[in-house]
Chains A and B, each alone.
Chain A
Amino acid sequence: MRRETLRPNTLRSGPDERGRFGIFGGRFVAETLMPLILELDQAYEAAKADPEFRRELDYYLKDYVGRPSPLWHARRLTAELGGARIYLKREELNHTGSHKLNNVMGQILLARRMGRTRIIAETGAGQHGVATATVCALFGMKCVVYMGATDCERQKPNVFRMRLLGAEVHAVTTGAGTLKDAMNDAMRDWVANVADTYYLIGTVAGPHPYPAMVRDFQCVIGDETRVQLHEVEGRLPDAVVASIGGGSNAMGIFHPFLDDASVRLIGVEAAGRGLDSGEQAASISRGRPGVLHGNRTYLLQDEHGQIQEAHSISAGLDYPGIGPEHSWLHDIGRAEYVAITDDEALAAFQLCTSTEGIIPALECAHALAHVAKIAPAMGKDEIIVMNLSGRGDKDIFTVAEHLGVSL
């Protein structure tokens, strides 16, 4: 309410006091966790209001994470596609190789303020798990990461990195052994260890305040992009494109542009083997609203409300849900959500590598594939910014397999 009074007519004021963005969001958790969520909400509000917390976070973001990340004018890619000027926001240059560390740094400082000593996290591709294990090593905290057994298998290097960093990695064998199942087990752990444990969620989903808090910590991406693009181009971009699993990298770059009506915001979901193949992870394109993991949002589900398994070539995208604020942005028409197949992402992965000398994570190869679709039809005076949210070292085994190369 207070924020609405301060900033009228803004799309950036959500969520409301119940943690909702329109009908989405909320707090759908078991009673055992409810007091913890309310405590977290209070602790986060207090931290936000404390200039010392901001100073501490800024210090670590600059000297440890390596911010600001560059905004790279991808000239060869632009020439290759022959249309809009393409800029890449280089989040893959952050320490640990993805945007995940922005959020993790914010939350670990919060966990320390709250006096927690044990950190749990869930991870799909391992980017969030590696980021979490990293800050736990930095601050000497106990770290437990839940990761689907299938994901452990296809992301072996990240599992090894987490273990090197001192984290316990639990391979989750229920369901399809992917991110959804890892999230269930992290929640089970949290219920059983409420006294000393902080659950460090890696995306803009989960019960309130997580979607808003993770978004706030990721907004540094969009805030920097505005300033950097203004310096080189003197204006706003025409389109901002980002890949969507849970949606944290997209929300981080979208949010600071929400009130700029001239900027198209485009989220790219994983169409897997095709939107109608039954093997995809496009929650908005092929899901409907429901409740899972503490929030109401678009979900892949059958007619009985049972959650369906998601599929994507990228372990970081195959989650059957999406952050609730994205669901709301979709429903009010502020952001567009499209889908890219495994094959299209693979082609874009190679395009980026060969033209710019940057190996992108398969997640952002999805965003790039969409850029490759729209850029040629746009004018040469138009600007697209794409969030290059992670580096692709972790994905070279998957890519090699699909290219028929044995490593």
Chain B
Amino acid sequence: MSRIAARFAALRQAGRGALIPYLEAGDPDLDTAAAILRGMPGAGADLIEIGVPFTDPMADGPTIQAASKRGLLAGATLGRTLSMVASFREHDVDTPIILMGYLNPIDSYGPARFCADAGRAGVDGLIVVDLPSEEADLLENHAAEHGLDIIRLVAPTTDEVRLPTVLQGSSGFIYYVSITGVTGTRTASEADLVLALPNLRKATDLPVAIGFGIRTPAQAAAAVRVADGAVVASALIETLAKSLDRHGQAGPDTVSLVLDQVRMLAEGVRTARVGAQVKEIVA
């Protein structure tokens, strides 16, 4: 069983959802990003998503754009991102790692070589934002050969007719983009999610994580009441960005501030369903 499948199975057993925090590789520098990554499981991350910096992150809002730019300035590359994962794996063999990014750096690296190196470094899944199912043959076979899950995005615009096309060949989990928009801008209402999720559940047995617009422990809790996981990105990056000095350098408390926020989000996610059950009983 893959690390991602094993983690979701264990969480289901425990009756709770997953917290999936995000960090941008190399943001604000290679060492600080690596320290945040190392600290995340201890702070309550169940899976971790790592953004691979790209010059033109078309689906991202200003917060992740800025993080991507800082990462590039600090010298983050696809190769260095894989090295960071490999170092992380020396101390943690269980926490699933998902790389999220855009196609061109992977295409430039070479899809076959990239999947081999990513598998060897200990990466578990890939989210390639601008690689829709129609173009996925570019990566699919190489990913499968090296045990990497291809995690597909499903959006509010994905209708029932199209859904089977999107789900075909997807593995690991489904990433439900909860809003039409870029990352970190708006937040979907719980009512929207309650409407959207059952259709998705009918179409797939894979776990579903919700992303885009989840900022607070309460919102993360709401997400895992209807889904299997909550991805939090921009809110964590904002915390990081605020801790930087005026030259963009990490402050003494950058790592701890981000990890404290992960802890609070994890607390929200861990108590979400307990609270919901109590409410139902009281009602």
Binding site for B on A (CB under 8 A): 18, 26-36, 38, 174-175, 180, 184, 187-188, 191-195, 290-294, 299, 301, 303-307
Contact = CB atoms under 8 A, between A and B. Distances in A.
B157 A294 contact: no
Interface stretch (B54-62, B235-243, B267-275): B54-62
Interface residues of B, number: 41
A294 B130 contact: yes
Interface stretch (B99-107, B221-229, B248-256): B99-107
A192 B181 contact: yes
A292 B131 CA distance: 11
B110 to A, nearest CB: 10
Contact of B108 (A28, A36, A303): A303
A290 B104 contact: yes
A345 to B, nearest CB: 27
11 contacts: A30-B130, A30-B153, A31-B154, A32-B180, A35-B158, A180-B56, A194-B180, A291-B130, A304-B79, A304-B109, A306-B104
Chain A contact residues: helix, strand, loop or mixed: mixed
A191 B182 contact: yes
Contacts of B109: 304-305
A320 to B, nearest CB: 9
Interface in B99-149: 102-109, 129-132, 134-135
Is chain B's interface secondary structure helix, strand, loop, or mixed overall?
Answer: loop
In order of increasing CB-CB distance, the 4 nearest A-B pairs are A305-B108, A305-B105, A192-B181, A32-B155
A36 B157 CA distance: 8
Given A193-B180, A293-B56, A299-B104, 15 more contacts: A26-B135, A30-B155, A30-B177, A31-B152, A31-B155, A31-B157, A31-B166, A32-B153, A32-B157, A188-B61, A191-B181, A292-B104, A294-B130, A305-B105, A307-B56
A188 B58 CA distance: 6
Interface of B: 54-59, 61, 65, 72, 77-79, 102-109, 129-132, 134-135, 152-159, 162, 166, 177, 180-182, 185
Contact of B177 (A27, A31, A187, A293): A31
A319 to B, nearest CB: 12
A181 to B, nearest CB: 8
Specify which of A32, A174, A175 lies most central, judged by the most chain B CB atoms within 10 Å of its CB. A32
A304 B55 CA distance: 11
A30 B56 contact: no
A305 B114 CA distance: 13
Contact of A28 (B61, B65, B135): B135
Contacts of B78: 304-305
A35 B162 CA distance: 8
A29 B132 contact: yes
A269 to B, nearest CB: 20
